Amino acid sequence: MSLLERAQNIDRRWVYLLVWLFVLFPLLNPLGLPIPIGRDSTAWKEYIDAIPNDSVIMVSMDYGVSGMPELYPMTVASMKHLWSMTDAKNLKIVVIAFWNQGPLVFDTLLSQVDPEADYGMVYGEDWIELGWIPGGETGMAAFANDIWAQKPNDYLYSRPLDEYPIMENIRVAEDVDLVVSFETGTPGLPEWLRQWNDPYGVPFIVGCIGVSVPGMAPYLSSGQLSALMPGLTASAEYEVLLNRPGLAVAGVDAVSMSHLLVFILVVVGNIAFFATGGSRRS
Amino acid sequence: MSDTLRRIEIPIIITAICTLIQVIPYYIEIEVLDNTAATLQQWVLLIVSMATFIGVISIGMVHGKRVQRQSEGWYFSGILLIVMVVMALTGLPLESMGLGTKNPVYDFLFTNVQTPLGGTMYSILAFFIASAAYRAFRARNIEASIVLIAGIFMVMSNAPIFTSMFEGFKGIGNWIFDVPNASTMRAVTIGAALGAIALAVRTLMGIERGYLRGGGED
């Protein structure tokens, strides 16, 4: 078998090894490539910056540990962004989850970011965490109808909601001004759309993993989805925009290298295909 | 009497009533129906919560048998059962007894076992996608060439190593996302929605019986 024929059919184990090497190299030796800013990260930042004063924001952790590599950096960056403007705008932030591992992921965030020490947030006044709401889409519908009935206690201290001043005027979906959902699947955007956006008119913005991005396009162009944070590259751009380089900036070199490898493999495969007369055979 | 209770029409009628109670309040505001729908939602949540135990029992039975018979890879099943029991017990919401998600054993297992394993499972996609792209993106004919060109531009628009060399890649990627992708996804979404409506109507009318006793006609 000639070299050109081999180049058309590289054993997948060699491809796997190359992927591993291309991803590992920038993680061990960061390349520090420039990160051009795209429209999605800009729109996300501008949307959050433009949140009106006294808004109630519901942050939903709709992913588990498997989504952390891609979604956790944007969650951290967005929470820091929101907490940094909470005092000035008198925002109220309610953290929930429709995925059972969501609160545990948020625990990880709280072990790295201290809202009280870093941003002067008072738990129960400026923000609160209610934990996991079971039942998927049905849970979403029930939560929209009566927030207190679904979560009578908070997640962090298991105390009744009437002990927290922040919850006094947050009882149904109409009391919420914005939903920020970080999600990997179901329940996710279509369920938010059906149970919160359409019946109650609550606007929402979504941060999602790369493979979910194409499915978001119709909702973004129709205006039902107000802003989209599509994957790790956009998260890195967002961190640059906020001037707070973090996990996404650290990981985006690996994205670049893995994409470069795909590009090289596709080019090599096609050159070999044409050089051996594959196009005529086809 | 027992024959009457076993009639197939009974679950079909229950399904139809429950569905209509959920669907009608979505479009029309009737207080009685709204309240009934909310009550039904609570019932669903209770059933979902109970289903968790079915999952635990099912996993216990499948892997318990594997350990008992010492069939191939039985030790993996053993590890699964041990970790499941340990996490279930230490994660019980009894904070006064030192249990719950803040329990050190639970926290250790979550942070050092479940989190890296979950991330690894997701990261495996990178290997498969790279291998699949190498094989699929080949200009064998016009259709494959279009996929190849669109795919390569999307790859380049999403990686700073390319966009830092030529920012125009982002614009090309945005156009592919906004125009061909959005229109295709819209068609897929509308098609799936029409299919879901048709399935719902068939279920409500009792034509679709796949969820009942394997679809028996009696």
Transcribe chain A into DSSP letters: --HHHHHHS--HHHHHHHHHHHHHHHHHS---------HHHHHHHHHHHTPPTT-EEEEEEE--GGGHHHHHHHHHHHHHHHHHHHHHHT-EEEEEESSTTHHHHHHHHHHH--HHHHH---BTTTEEEEEE--SHHHHHHHHHH-HHHH-SB-SSS--BGGG-GGGTT--SGGG--EEEEEESSSSSHHHHIIIIIHHH---EEEEE-GGGHHHHHHHHHHTSEEEEEEHHHHHHHHHHHHT---HHHHHHHHHHHHHHHHHHHHHHHHHHHHHTTHHHH-
Sheet with strand A204-208: strands edge to edge: A127-132, A92-97, A56-62, A178-183, A204-208, A225-230
Do both B87 and B153 map to the same domain?
no
Query: CA–CA separation, A192 vs B170, rounded Å?
Result: 29
Q: Is residue B113, in this structure, part of any structural domain at all?
A: no
Flag residues of chain A having pLDDT under 50.
none
Query: CA–CA separation, A203 vs A197, rounded Å?
Result: 6
- CB of A261 less than 8 A from some CB of B: yes
Give the residue from B107, B135, B165 where a domain finishes. Answer: B107
- CB of A17 less than 8 A from some CB of B: no
Task: Write down the pTM of the prediction.
Answer: 0.90
Do both B123 and B48 map to the same domain?
no
Q: Is residue B92, in this structure, part of any structural domain at all?
A: yes
Q: B121 to chain A: which residues are within 8 Å by CB?
A: 66
- CB of A100 less than 8 A from some CB of B: no
Check CB contact under 8 Å for A231 and B158: yes
Tokens of A221: 């162009």
Number of independent structural domains in chain B: 2
pLDDT for A130: 97
Do both B182 and B142 map to the same domain?
yes
A214 prior amide bond cis, ω within 30: no
At A113, which amino acid appears?
V
Q: Do A136 and A98 form a contact (C-beta atoms < 8 A)?
A: yes
Do both B99 and B147 map to the same domain?
no
Tokens of A151: 């979560």
- Reported as a single tens digit per residue, the pLDDT across B52-100 is 889 899 999 999 999 999 999 999 999 999 999 999 999 998 888 999 8
Do both B131 and B155 map to the same domain?
yes
Give the residue from B77, B107, B137 where a domain finishes. Answer: B107
Q: Is residue B112, in this structure, part of any structural domain at all?
A: no
Q: How far is CA A35 from CA A38, A141, A172, B154, in A?
A: 9, 40, 41, 16
Check CB contact under 8 Å for B38 and A145: yes
Ramachandran bin of B119, using left for φ above 0, alpha for ψ from -120 to 50, beta for the remaining angles: alpha
Do both B91 and B15 map to the same domain?
yes
Q: B176 to chain A: which residues are within 8 Å by CB?
A: none
Do both B5 and B49 map to the same domain?
yes
Check CB contact under 8 Å for B131 and A259: no
Q: B161 to chain A: which residues are within 8 Å by CB?
A: 33, 256-257, 259-260
Q: Point out the least confidently predicted range of A58-67, A182-191, B101-110, B205-214.
A: B205-214
Mean pLDDT across the stretch B202-210?
A: 87
Q: A150 to chain B: which residues are within 8 Å by CB?
A: 45
Do both B85 and B127 map to the same domain?
no
Please tell me which residue, B50 or A13, carries the higher pLDDT value: A13
Do both B214 and B132 map to the same domain?
yes
Give the residue from B54, B80, B107 where a domain finishes. Answer: B107
Do both B10 and B72 map to the same domain?
yes
What distance in Å separates residue A215's CA from the closest CA in chain B?
6
Do both B206 and B157 map to the same domain?
yes
Do both B130 and B215 map to the same domain?
yes
pLDDT for B218: 46
What is the ipTM, given to two decimal places? Answer: 0.89
pLDDT for B214: 58
Tokens of B46: 């209770």
Q: If you classify domain A39-245 with CATH, what class do you get?
A: alpha beta
Range of the domain at B59: 1-107
- CB of A131 less than 8 A from some CB of B: no
Number of inter-chain CB pairs under 8 A, A vs B: 171
- Reported as a single tens digit per residue, the pLDDT across B30-40 is 999 999 999 99
What distance in Å separates residue A204's CA from the closest CA in chain B?
19
